[in-house]
Structure 1
Amino acid sequence: MVGIPQAIIPALREHLATYVGNEPGALLFPAAKGGPLRRSGFNTRTRWVDVVRDMGMPGLHFHDLRHTGNMLAAQSGAGLKDLMARMGHDNVRTAMIYQHAVRGADRAITDAIDRHINRTDDEGDNGSAGVLAPVG
C-alpha cells in the first residue's frame, strides 16, 4: 500500500468519475475503447500526445510521472528502505540514484555551518576560535 497525497485527491476523484467504470475490476487508466493501455504506440497514438502538447510539455512520457514522484519522495528525506518500498524497488542502487539527485541538503548543511562559523561575538559566540580543516 502506498499513501496518496491529499492534494491530488480531488483530481483523482474527477478522473475516477469520468474515466473509470463502476464494475469490479474496472481499469484505473483504460484505453480509449475501454481496454487496457498498451505500451506500444502509447506516446504516439493516444490522447496523451494531445494532452501533453496542450499543457506545453510535448515529449513528456507517462513514465516521467513516476520519476517525478520518486524525486519528490526522495526530497522528503525518506530513508533508503522507505524510499525503496514506495518506489516498488528491491534494488538499493535505484533508490540511491534518487537520493543522490536531491542532495541539495548538503548545500543547506554547508550554509548552516558557515552561518554558525561566521557569527560575530555579539551574536552569542563564546569567544572560542575554530579552525577549518581541508577534507580529502
Structure 2
Amino acid sequence: MSVPAAILPALCEHLAAFVDDSPEALVFTTPSGRPIWRGNLNKVIGWSTAVGKLGVPGLHFHDLRHTGNTIAARTGASTRELMARMGHDSAQAAMIYQHATSEADRAIAQAVSAAMKAERKKAKKPAAGSSDKAKSKGKKRG
C-alpha cells in the first residue's frame, strides 16, 4: 500500500527512533518489543487517557482507520480501488467509507448541471446542412 507523502516525515522519524533494520521488525510494539493487540492497546499506549486529553473521549482506535478510509473514498477512487487499499473482499464493506457529504452532493449537482447545459447547447445547434432542409420544408415539390 502506498503511504501518503504527508505522513512520511512522521513515519520515517518513528522508524528511525523505534524500529530496527530487520525486514521482520514490527513498526509499533509494546515497550518490551512485543506485538500490540486489541486487548492490550489501551494499556500499552494509554488510548483512553490520550483521547480524554484531546477532548474526544468517545473516539475509538478503529475510528482512525475509518477516518483515513473516508478521506481515501473522497478522492474519487473507485470502489474496487478502495477495496484493494483497505483489504476488503466485498464492495459492501468498502461502501461503509463512502459517506455522502454536502460538498460531494454540490459537486454532483454542478456536474449534472454542466452536462445538461452542454446537451441543451448541442440540441440548439443546427446540424450541418440542416438549414437548407428547414428552408425547403413545407414547399411543394414540383
Per the alignment, residue 17 of structure 2 pairs with: 18
Q: Check if 1:46 corresponds to 2:44.
A: yes
Q: Aligned-pair distance for 1:69?
A: 1.1
Which ranges of structure 1 fall in alignment gaps of 5 or more residues?
A: 118-124, 129-136
Describe how 1:46-125 pairs up with structure 2 within 5 A: 46-49=44-47, 50-99=49-98, 101-102=99-100, 104=102, 105-111=104-110
Q: Which one is further off, 70-79 or 33-42?
A: 33-42
Find the aligned partners of 1:24 and 1:108 in 2 and give their Cα distance: 44
Q: Aligned-pair distance for 1:33?
A: 1.6
Kindly provide the amino acid, as one letter, of the partner of residue 70 in structure 1.
N
Kindly provide the amino acid, as one letter, of the partner of residue 107 in structure 2.
A
Per the alignment, residue 134 of structure 2 pairs with: none
Task: Give the TM-score of the pair, scaled to structure 2.
Answer: 0.68
Q: Aligned-pair distance for 1:46?
A: 2.3
How many equivalent pairs are there? 118
Task: Give the TM-score of the pair, scaled to structure 1.
Answer: 0.70
Instruction: Give the direction of change, closer, same or farther, for the CA distance of 1:25–1:61 in structure 2 (3 Å limit).
Output: same
Tell me the C-alpha RMSD between the 2 structures: 2.7
Q: Aligned-pair distance for 1:95?
A: 1.3
Which ranges of structure 2 fall in alignment gaps of 5 or more residues?
A: 125-142
| 2:36–2:44 contact (8 Å) kept in structure 1 | no
Instruction: Give the direction of change, closer, same or farther, for the CA distance of 1:59–1:48 in structure 2 (3 Å limit).
Output: farther
Larger radius of gyration: 2
